[in-house]
Amino acid sequence: MVTYEFSRESRILTPGQFQQVFSKSSRFGSSHFTILITKNTLDKPRLGFAVAKKRVKLAVQRNRIKRLTRESFRLAQHNLPNIDIVVMVKSGIDNLDNATINKQLVKTWRKIIQRHKP
């Protein structure tokens, strides 16, 4: 049975884990997201965020973007390869509505899945 949980093991937590993604990564992007990915040795994908105050001023908006991204990842994680993902945002994303953000994320997950087919 497939579970759609987003547990602690599904997250990139330590600075060393983030540094590993930043140092050797592939980039995927849309008009408001930059997504860095790198292979991991685990049996599931992991997600991390780098949402800068410079790009999104209000904490409420930063949290909304992270919440939407987490939910989108949670639903798509079973189709994604075993990779570490760091999501960075570009300026202007705080002006988008939830449906538009979700649409961009789904499109990016689809691109990642197509490029990393076994």
Quick check: is 15 in a domain?
Answer: yes
Band of residue 1 on the pLDDT scale cut at 50, 70, 90: low
Quick check: is 2 in a domain?
Answer: no
Quick check: is 92 in a domain?
Answer: yes
pLDDT in tens, 34-65: 999 999 999 999 999 999 999 999 999 999 99
Number of domains present in the structure of the chain: 1
Quick check: is 110 in a domain?
Answer: yes
What is the percentage of the chain residues whose pLDDT exceeds 70?
A: 98
Chain mean pLDDT for the chain: 92
CA 60 to chain centre: 18
User: 79: exposed, middle or buried (C-beta count within 10 Å: 0-12, 13-18, 19+)?
Assistant: exposed
Quick check: is 28 in a domain?
Answer: yes
CATH number of the CATH domain containing 44? 3.30.230.10
Host domain of residue 67: 8-116
